[in-house]
Amino acid sequence: MARHISALMETLLHRRSLRRWSVAAHAAARADVGTLRLWRGRARHLRRMLDQVIHEADHRLALPVLGSNAMKKPMGTDWSWRPMLWKGPLPQPGLASVPSKAQICDGATIFHDCRRSELTVRQIRNTRESDISPFGFRMDVFRFDGSFLSLVLDLPEEAARGLRLRHLIRLDVIVEMEKPLEIFARLNIKHGPNVEQIVRELPLTSEEVMVEFDLAYSKMNEKRVEKLWVDLIFEGPEMNQVILRDVTLSRRPRAEI
């Protein structure tokens, strides 16, 4: 009730202010110099505040919506997902000298074998018109004395539920790099005591790339699937900046022939 009254009062005050400035605008041509000087000072002060509000609103309203789950989905998709790293703000957006097995957020972990870490990671706000995901993930790699660097993404339980050998799992990535490097995606499927692994190299011929994992070529036991995760493996990342603007996964059954 109090909130409703407050909103009503704000509306009435806004209308009253508009009427007052409308009167001043029409009377400006006939007003005396002293009155005109007073109105001009007040109007300029008001315009500075209005310009600040408009600028901030235009900027924020043009950004992808926080928590947005909009994504490209192939026809027939029965499950799709964007990890939280690209979906919502993190309590701690960045880390420096990132150690191995550092959890960036729930379900996203960095692995490497460097003796001395010169890796910095940060969640960034996407601002480009073409961006769909609210956030991106930036890695700055300086000296790198290890043999591997990977970002591991744990898929939710829904990805394993009802998973069959006739399914295709698709990974879509939007990536930017300072200089070329190889990125591999490895799908891991735990079924019983075993882990099935399928590796694909990302075709980095453009920013938006896609790979598919065809489970028909795996030895997965459909009745014992427990969990899935994806490793994004970066080969030769030294002295490079890699920005993953978006990462999404989807699942669809293969068309029956």
| Domain range list for the chain | 2-62, 79-253
Distance CA 68, CA 140 (A): 26
Cα–Cα nearest to 71, from 166, 160, 172: 172
Whether the CB-CB separation of 151 and 232 falls below 8 Å is answered with yes
Which class is 79-253 in CATH?
mainly beta
Whether the CB-CB separation of 182 and 238 falls below 8 Å is answered with no
pLDDT > 70? residue 21: yes
Residue 217 is classified by DSSP as G
Distance CA 1, CA 231 (A): 52
Position 252 scores a pLDDT of 95
Residue 193 is classified by DSSP as T
Q: How far is CA 170 from the centre of its chain?
A: 18
pLDDT > 60? residue 59: no
pLDDT band per the 50, 70, 90 thresholds, residue 222: very high
pLDDT band per the 50, 70, 90 thresholds, residue 60: low
- The residues near 93 (Cβ < 8 Å, ≥ 6 apart) are 122, 123, 124
Distances (CA, A) of 68 to 63, 89, 90, 246: 11, 12, 15, 12
pLDDT > 70? residue 66: no
Position 127 scores a pLDDT of 83
Position 55 scores a pLDDT of 54
- The residues near 166 (Cβ < 8 Å, ≥ 6 apart) are 215, 216, 253, 254
